[in-house]
Homo-oligomer: A and B are copies of this chain.
Amino acid sequence: MKNQDFINKLRNSGLRPTKQRIKICEALFNTEKTFHFTVNDLAKMMQKNFNEKISLATVYNTLHAFKKKGYVKEISLGNDNSYFDTNISSHHHFYDTKTNELIDIDSSKIELKNIPNPPKGKSIKEIDVVINVENDSQ
């Protein structure tokens, strides 16, 4: 994917293709594999790997905008800071509670049987399975 593709992608979804957004697209979507990151991770990554100082507020704005458009997911963990995910397929996670490392589990890998009916008047939006793991203490 090249620069112009991101510009189109942004424009098509009603987001102005600003310099910052395009650079962030490159960082997030010009990769072999999907990955997990925090807002701070991304801000630092932009500076170091892309020589682009983007204000924290803009990183937040952009990630929230991208999330709304479905270009990234935000992952629910009981942690201090939240994680984002460029893997937007429905999937689950191993979560190392000590190192804060996240590892994807393909949705098809885990079978959820007998999901109970949601409370009256509510409907299911998404199911998150988090398998908390820790290093074996030898």
A positions within 8 Å CB-CB of B = 74-79, 82, 94, 96-97, 103, 105, 109-116, 118-119, 121-136
Contacts and interface: CB of A to CB of B under 8 A. Distances in A.
The A interface, classified by DSSP as helix, strand, loop or mixed, is: strand
- How many copies of this chain does one complex carry? 2
B133 A125 contact: yes
Contact of A133 (B78, B94, B122): B122
A133 B118 contact: yes
Contacts of A131: 115, 118, 124, 126-127
A49 B14 CA distance: 51
A69 B131 CA distance: 22
Nearest to A76: B78
A123 B136 contact: yes
A112 B114 CA distance: 9
Contacts of A77: 76, 78
A126 to B, nearest CB: 5
A94 B112 contact: no
Nearest to A137: B123
Contact of A75 (B78, B96, B119): B78
